[in-house]
Amino acid sequence: MKKKITIAIDGFAACGKSTLAKDLAKALGYTFIDTGAMYRAVAFYCLEHQLISEDGILNTEQIDAALPLISIELSSDQKVWLNQKDVTQEIRTPKVAGIVSKIASIKAVRIKLVEQQQAMGSQGGIVMDGRDIASVVFPKAELKLFVRASDEVRTQRRLAELQAKGESMSEADVLANLKSRDLQDSTREESPLIQVPEAIVLDTSSHTRESQLEWALEIANQLLEEKE
């Protein structure tokens, strides 16, 4: 039987990480974990329970106290469950996108989610995407990818996603949200988004979904052959 490896994929918002991770996991027969969805679920819980004010001020003490009451599960059909409720759609709204980076900068939130992510991937055979996967969650991952895409491509992708769900937002607002999240994610104190030196970089701007998968699969298969 082929050895199963751990694949860590990091990158900025809307650069195509989750699509690549999902396709790669499917091709290899591995489990796919979108860790951004877990931070979004916590953000959604905080909005629902008024732990964040209208102007975006966090009640960090109350959020810390609420963490034991928050249970997040990701099912194999890519659904996201918050305390047994399906919140797959709800976590993708502009409102959640507007506050999730703040929630993801809270130390106690990161400790809880990283612990859960490490348990999910303890047996290998996983493709996990996020911001701190190669640096914090799985620093020993056999394959580390860092995904990039141009601002134009990222904006158009997010706009298309929103339009498909009947949500409208201007191009300028989408880009502003992406930029502000990138800045918060890469400058926060707690495990900021970094490109680890050993990561292999992929710019998805000029790739199709198929060609980026082909590229990543070739690297993964080569690594798996070397390990046999």
Q: Which of 5, 15, 28, 35 binds ligand DC (CB under 6 A)?
A: 35
Contact range with ligand DC by CB under 6 A, out of 131-139, 146-154, 163-171, 201-209 = 131-139
Q: Of residues 154, 157, 181, 207, which one binds ligand DC by CB under 6 A?
A: 181
Binding-residue total with ligand DC (CB under 6 A): 14
User: Quick check: 185 binds ligand DC (CB under 6 A)?
Assistant: yes
CB of 3 to ligand DC, least distance (A): 25
32 lies in the binding site for ligand DC (CB under 6 A): no
Nearest residue (CB) to ligand DC, 186 versus 224: 186
Question: Least distance in Å: CB of 127 to ligand DC?
Answer: 13
Task: State the burial class of residue 224 (Cβ atoms within 10 Å of its Cβ: 0-12, 13-18, 19+).
Answer: middle
Pairwise CA distance, residues 115 & 128, whole Å: 14
Closest distance between ligand DC and the C-beta of residue 105, in Å?
A: 7
130 touching ligand DC, by CB under 6 A: yes
Among the residue ranges 56-64, 124-132, 138-146, 212-220, the one whose residues contact ligand DC (CB under 6 A)? 124-132
Under rule CB under 6 A, residue 207 binds ligand DC: no
Question: Contact with ligand DC (CB under 6 A): which of 131, 144, 158, 207?
Answer: 131
Give the nearer residue to ligand DC in terms of CB position, either 2 or 95.
Answer: 95
Q: Which tokens is 42 given?
A: 């916590």
Three-class SS of the chain: CCCCCEEEEEECCCCCHHHHHHHHHHHHCCEEEEHHHHHHHHHHHHHHCCCECCCCCECHHHHHHHHHHCCEEECCCCCEEECCEECCCHHHCHHHHHHHHHHCCCHHHHHHHHHHHHHHCCCCCEEEEECCHHHHHCCCCCEEEEEECCHHHHHHHHHHHHHHCCCCCCHHHHHHHHHHHHHHHHHCCCCCCCCCCCCEEEEHHHCCHHHHHHHHHHHHHHHHHHHC
Site for ligand DC, residues 47 to 106, rule: CB under 6 A: 100-101, 104
Q: Which of 8, 13, 20, 63 binds ligand DC (CB under 6 A)?
A: 13
**Residue 55 C-beta: closest distance to ligand DC, Å:** 19
Tell me which residue of 193, 146, 185, 207 sits closest to 21, measured CA to CA.
Answer: 146
Residues that bind ligand DC (CB under 6 A): 13, 35-36, 39-40, 100-101, 104, 130-133, 181, 185
